Amino acid sequence: MWRSCGAGARAAVAHGLGRAPPTALCSVSPQDLAVPNTGWSAAMCEQFQRLLRRAADGSWRRIPSYRRGLDYLPEVVQMAVGVVTRPGPRLFLRSVDEEGAGFEYAIFLHASGHRTQCLCQLGPYLEGHHGFAHGGAIATLIDSTVGTCALAVAKASVMTAKLSISYLAPVPVGAVVVADSRMERHEGRKIFLSCHVRDTKRDTLYAEATALFIQVEDTKPPPAASL
Ligand SMILES: CCCCCCCC/C=C\CCCCCCCC(=O)SCCNC(=O)CCNC(=O)[C@H](O)C(C)(C)COP(=O)(O)OP(=O)(O)OC[C@H]1O[C@@H](n2cnc3c(N)ncnc32)[C@H](O)[C@@H]1OP(=O)(O)O
């Protein structure tokens, strides 16, 4: 169903984008998944290369993406908190192992730290109405995009307090979309953001959203969550 990426995309991986550097404390280095795989459509690969080229001048940065939350922590933080003996929380956007079946995405952060763009391909497991992505999948994409922006602004843990979405047009399964988020206001612990989800040609506005994130102390899992 999905066309695999060409040599150009694989070259991006070969140039060091494919794997995070191994940490001294983890026997297996976490795999950065915000890179092309066989599930990415030609359109997804093409847009990814376009965004990488745009990032070459330093105005944007591709954010690595992992299956588990703790893999995001730099090694020095892992050493300080001593958390590497247990796995971090599983990020459900990365839970589908079959390439191309679920969320395929790469998030880019603007140098200002106040804007994120998520290039996303919504796979067939995310179907709601026949042929279209489930609204909850769109909400997840938006939450992750604005959440990453809020993390960058707060430089600390954040939680979604409020997310308001207007769904304006259905997103076909397999479509490649761009969620474009920016910080609107920052008041103490409160970070207000906006987000627009469009097709890559910017012809169709699929959804628009506003969000409020609250900066919190590092979240600890409840006892029952040790699955
Ligand atoms: C996202 C990135 C993913 C990409 C990967 C990047 C790296 C990944 C690495 C690692 C993983 C990171 C994990 C991802 C997380 C994803 C985001 C979620 O989905 S979070 C889950 C859903 N959200 C909840 O479950 C919150 C439940 N609610 C709460 O826990 C609390 O209500 C909380 C923390 C939001 C606020 O509680 P308080 O006790 O800390 O603070 P108070 O005093 O209540 O509020 C502070 C101020 O905010 C206002 N406020 C709070 N909630 C509001 C609301 N709903 N509407 C309007 N104002 C609100 C209040 O009125 C107050 O304002 P005044 O300071 O008085 O001016």
Contacts of residue 152, Cβ cutoff 8 Å, sequence gap at least 6: 109, 113, 114, 116
Q: What is the pLDDT of residue 31?
A: 87
Amino acid 145 reads T
Is the CB of 161 within 6 Å of ligand 1? yes
Complex confidence, ipTM? 0.91
Of 57, 118, 123, give the one whose Cα is nearest residue 95. 123
From the alpha carbon of 91, which atom of ligand 1 is closest?
11
Question: Of all residues in the chain, what percent carry a pLDDT higher than 70?
Answer: 75
Region 1-6: what's the mean pLDDT? Answer: 43
Alpha helices in 56-163 (DSSP H): 75-81, 135-154
Q: What is the mean pLDDT of the chain?
A: 84
Residue 13 DSSP code: I
| 16-45 per-position pLDDT tens digit | 334 444 344 444 568 899 999 999 999 999
Q: Name which residue sits closest to atom 23 of ligand 1, judged by CA.
A: 160
Q: Looking at the annotation, which residues are catalytic? A: 143
Tell me the CA–centroid distance for residue 214 and ligand 1, in Å.
4
Q: What is the pLDDT of residue 23?
A: 43
Window from 82-86, 132-136, 193-197, 206-210 with minimum mean pLDDT: 82-86
| 123-167 per-position pLDDT tens digit | 999 999 999 999 999 999 999 999 999 999 999 889 999 999 999
Tell me the CA–centroid distance for residue 120 and ligand 1, in Å.
24
Sort 96 into a burial class: Cβ within 10 Å, 0-12 / 13-18 / 19+: middle
Q: Name which residue sits closest to atom 40 of ligand 1, judged by CA.
A: 216
Q: What is the pLDDT of residue 90?
A: 82
Tell me the CA–centroid distance for residue 144 and ligand 1, in Å.
13
pLDDT higher than threshold 70 for residue 12: no
Q: Is 61 helix (H, G, I), strand (E, B) or coil?
A: strand
Is the CB of 159 within 6 Å of ligand 1? yes
Tell me the CA–centroid distance for residue 154 and ligand 1, in Å.
12
7-20+31-225, CATH topology level: Thiol Ester Dehydrase; Chain A (3.10.129)
Domain ranges of the chain: 7-20+31-225
Of 72, 206, 55, 223, give the one whose Cα is nearest residue 139. 206
Pocket test for ligand 1, best of 83, 117, 158, 214 (most atoms within 8 A of CB): 214
Decide: 171 and 181 in contact? Cβ < 8 Å.
no
Region 64-83: what's the mean pLDDT? Answer: 68
154: tokens are 């707060």
